[in-house]
Amino acid sequence: NAGVTQTPKFQVLKTGQSMTLQCAQDMNHEYMSWYRQDPGMGLRLIHYSVGAGITDQGEVPNGYNVSRSTTEDFPLRLLSAAPSQTSVYFCASRGQQELFFGSGTQLSVL
Amino acid sequence: GQSLEQPSEVTAVEGAIVQINCTYQTSGFYGLSWYQQHDGGAPTFLSYNALDGLEETGRFSSFLSRSDSYGYLLLQELQMKDSASYFCALQVDSWGKLQFGAGTQVVVTP
């Protein structure tokens, strides 16, 4: 039981490049979400999903796309990276009362 | 929308007790959670209050008062390993969507 697995751990992009952050969970959780964490701002919700085929926007969705084709996987796509997207990204899935977080992706956009 | 306020930093000595307050403004919510995050790590779940009152889990306790729009996390018998950031978070829908506060950094000194 690996929990929530995020890849990559670190990534450097140039402005305008695209990339996908991968997230997988093996706990059969319906609810999955992506957060970004910036200094002094806590965690802000980007997108979330309540099951395969269902996604919705969170607090800061602009510049990001998601899809949920299976219960296990919830990738986050940056279509055209901008310096404002430099941040630490966390994927999470929800159990009975709590979120289980992945180990995070530190993304720098130059 | 929702907003949560918590102090940015608290310093205490080993063995002491620390209380981290969280005040919030919201039109409705399901519960208040607390998460711990060590530097460079993923947030981990500490506690959840769906109802008013005190929840105790070992050295940590959490309290909620809906009438006062207020909650707190109590850390007892502080240990060096408790040095971390602590986040309060409102559960804003039945699926478990969370809105986080900006976090409180707890510094434990010898």
Evaluate if residue B1 carries a pLDDT over 80: no
Which chain A residue shows the shortest CA-CA distance from B88?
Answer: A42
> Whole-angstrom distance between the N-terminal and C-terminal Cα of chain A?
36
User: Cβ of A72 under 8 Å from any chain B Cβ?
Assistant: no
CA distance B42 to chain A (A): 5
Q: What pLDDT was estimated at residue A39? A: 85
Interface membership of A48 toward B (CB under 8 Å): yes
What pLDDT, on a 0 to 100 scale, did the predictor assign at position A42?
87
DSSP character string of B62-92: EEEETTTTEEEEEE-S--GGG-EEEEEEEE-
Per-residue pLDDT of chain A (110 residues; tens, 9 = 90+): 689 999 999 999 999 999 999 999 999 999 999 999 998 788 999 999 999 999 999 999 999 999 999 999 999 999 999 999 999 999 999 998 899 999 999 999 99
Tokens of B70: 């207020």
Looking at residue A40, its pLDDT comes to 78
Is the per-residue pLDDT at B55 higher than 80? yes
CA angle A58, A63, A69 (to 5 degrees): 65
Residue B2 has pLDDT above 80, yes or no: no
CB contact under 8 A, B97 and A33: yes
Q: What pairing do the DSSP bridges indicate for beta strands B104-109 and A4-7?
A: unpaired
Residue B38 is classified by DSSP as -
pLDDT of res. B108: 97
Best A36, A44, A98, A105 member to test B by mutation, with max B CBs in 10 Å, is A98
CB contact under 8 A, A99 and B98: yes
pLDDT digits over B19-49, tens only?
Answer: 999 999 988 899 999 999 999 899 999 999 9
A71 at interface of B, judged by CB pairs closer than 8 A: no
